[in-house]
Amino acid sequence: MKIKLKSMSLLMKIFISVTGALLIGILCLFLQSWLINSGNENIWEFINLILFQDITLSEGARGIGIFFIISQLFMQALQMGMVPLMLVAISLSIGNFVKPEKLGKVATKTMFCFIVFYLISAGMSIGISYFVRSRGFFDVNLPEITTEGLFLMENYNPLQVILSVIPSNIAEAFSTNNAVLAVLTVGTIIGLGMNKKPIETKPLKDLLKSVDVITHMYYDFLINKICPVAIFSMIARAVVINGIEYLRPVAAFLVTGVFIGIFGLLTIYPISIWITTGLNPIIFIKKTFKVALFAAATQSSAATLPLNLKTCEEELGCSEEFSSFIMPLGMTIHMNGTTAMQVLAVTFIATAAGIELTLWQMILAGLVSIAISLGVPAVPMAGATMIFVVLSGLGLVNELTIIGYALVLAMNFPVGMSVITMNVVGDAATNVIICHKEGVLNEKIYNKLESSSKSEC
């Protein structure tokens, strides 16, 4: 009789990987110090060649670099799926825009509300990230590594990004991970075409759905099976090569990320509801609190959708017809919390890697993140995974940024718990605002606090 063991959660796998990597890395640092002080440098050199050596360098010609190879293969595997990931996500999200002829007015207002929340969240994250960075909390002394080939944009005019929106060659745009905006443009055109001509473009839509299934399977496997091993290799190697002081700014990243999520949750939506509707924002906070907790616990907008719909219709007084359109749409394309996290992560990664982003570059990172988050796929750790797309789009990819990205990928769970609440509660806030503007919000239900206590999750 075979006994099936309950599979370990991704969170537990990552926790074990990070803990094990830190322990192994710190032990190797002590071993390195002891061997060098005892005159056995050749033993440490042998260990370094086997496990940690960068085999692409001239001094790594004799090395094996097991941890380095695993790390690089994982990052290249992430990059390999980026273009189809973005193209399919954007195309299908726009192509599946339900009944635009019936809800065109509502759709326009909803999209406007989403974009406003995106811009506010990105601006808030830029301001907080800039402040934290200016105080030196993200600074760390690392060994100097060449930044040759990096597009640092020191004399870069941000308006140049306009030129990269429309590609002169589609094949060329798909051949590089740096042409993020070009891929998004092509995906938008395809999505609009499928939406306008659903019958004629059905074969293309079916093809994209098939690609979407394959892409999801690929990233499910990559994140759930390979990610823990890769994170172990990256973190252990980072500790050994750069020392434990690199981990100091991670704490600042975590605290700042959680603060951004909570601050955004308690300010952006209540204030927006108060300004646009005149309704009591405290009631909104109280009634959506359980939605935020559920989202934080599950880290899934899809899993939270039923509870969010129930809360909007039964406790906030939103129209069932409007809710059935706005909420699923928001679950698909409204990821302003994800944008806030990505702006913070890019600022942290670049600063820790010794690259000081200008305010214009941070704004550009926010705009790129908004464009990406509009079509972020429903794969595990999707928001954290798409950070790499933002880095690639800004040309900020070298060995040090990869180390920073690995740390963000490994340590992002508390931040993810915080910012996903912005995504789902933002959908509810949009629903309340649109329903109020269209005159279909039941204010008696909204103001009835007793209903909140009777509702069941």
User: ∠449-455-457 over CA atoms, to 5°?
Assistant: 135
Tell me whether residue 53 is in a domain. no
Find out whether 156 and 58 touch, Cβ atoms under 8 Å. no
Burial class (CB in 10 A: 0-12, 13-18, 19+), 48: middle
Q: Which amino acid is at 233?
A: S
Q: Give the whole-angstrom CA distance, residue 298 versus residue 416.
A: 10
DSSP 223: I
Q: What pLDDT is stored for residue 284 in this prediction?
A: 92
Q: What is the pLDDT of residues 367-377, one digit of tens each?
A: 888 877 776 55
User: Which domain, by its residues, includes 354?
Assistant: 80-212+249-454
Q: What is the pLDDT of residues 263-299, one digit of tens each?
A: 998 999 999 999 999 899 999 998 888 888 878 766 6
C-alpha pair distances (Å), 332 with each of 119, 180, 328:
17, 19, 6
Tell me whether residue 2 is in a domain. no
Q: Which amino acid is at 399?
A: E
At residue 130, φ and ψ (nearest 5 deg) are -65, -40
Find out whether 140 and 249 touch, Cβ atoms under 8 Å. yes
Q: Which residues 6+ apart lie within 8 Å of 30 measured at CB?
A: none
Tell me whether residue 243 is in a domain. no
Q: What pLDDT is stored for residue 5 in this prediction?
A: 42
SS3 168: coil
Is the predicted pLDDT of residue 242 greater than 80, yes or no?
A: no
DSSP 161: G
Q: Which amino acid is at 254?
A: L
pLDDT greater at residue 240 or residue 112? 112
- Listed residue (117, 121, 447) closest to 287, CA to CA: 447
Q: Which residues 6+ apart lie within 8 Å of 444 measured at CB?
A: 317
Can you list the alpha helix ranges (DSSP code H) found in 278-358?
A: 281-298, 301-314, 320-333, 336-352
Tell me whether residue 128 is in a domain. yes
C-alpha pair distances (Å), 285 with each of 229, 303, 453:
40, 20, 13
Q: Look over the chain and give the mean of its residue pLDDT values, rounded to a whole number.
A: 77
The C-alpha torsion from 82 through 85 and 86 to 87, rounded to 10°, is 120
b/e code 247-267 from CB counts within 10 Å (16+ = b): bebbebbbebbbebbebbbee
pTM summary value: 0.64
C-alpha distance across the termini of the chain, in Å: 39
Tell me whether residue 368 is in a domain. yes
Find out whether 29 and 239 touch, Cβ atoms under 8 Å. yes
Find out whether 450 and 361 touch, Cβ atoms under 8 Å. no
Tell me whether residue 193 is in a domain. yes
- What average pLDDT does this structure show over 113-119? 92
Q: Quote the tokens at residue 171.
A: 């094949």
CATH of the domain at 441: 1.10.3860.10
Is the predicted pLDDT of residue 3 greater than 70, yes or no?
A: no
User: ∠207-197-435 over CA atoms, to 5°?
Assistant: 105
Q: What pLDDT is stored for residue 70 in this prediction?
A: 87
Tell me whether residue 253 is in a domain. yes
Q: Give the whole-angstrom CA distance, residue 65 versus residue 187.
A: 39
Find out whether 379 and 224 touch, Cβ atoms under 8 Å. no
Q: What pLDDT is stored for residue 336 in this prediction?
A: 87
Find out whether 93 and 332 touch, Cβ atoms under 8 Å. yes
Confidence of residue 433 (pLDDT cuts 50, 70, 90): very high
Q: What pLDDT is stored for residue 180 in this prediction?
A: 66
Q: What is the count of structural domains for the chain? A: 1
pLDDT greater at residue 380 or residue 49? 49
pLDDT greater at residue 254 or residue 3? 254
Is the predicted pLDDT of residue 392 greater than 50, yes or no?
A: yes
Q: Quote the tokens at residue 111.
A: 């999209």
Tell me whether residue 42 is in a domain. no
Is the predicted pLDDT of residue 428 greater than 90, yes or no?
A: yes
Find out whether 379 and 191 touch, Cβ atoms under 8 Å. no
Q: Which residues 6+ apart lie within 8 Å of 326 measured at CB?
A: 106, 110, 427, 430, 431, 434
Q: What pLDDT is stored for residue 229 in this prediction?
A: 85
Q: Quote the tokens at residue 63.
A: 């090395």
Find out whether 201 and 416 touch, Cβ atoms under 8 Å. no
Tokens 């899809």 correspond to 302
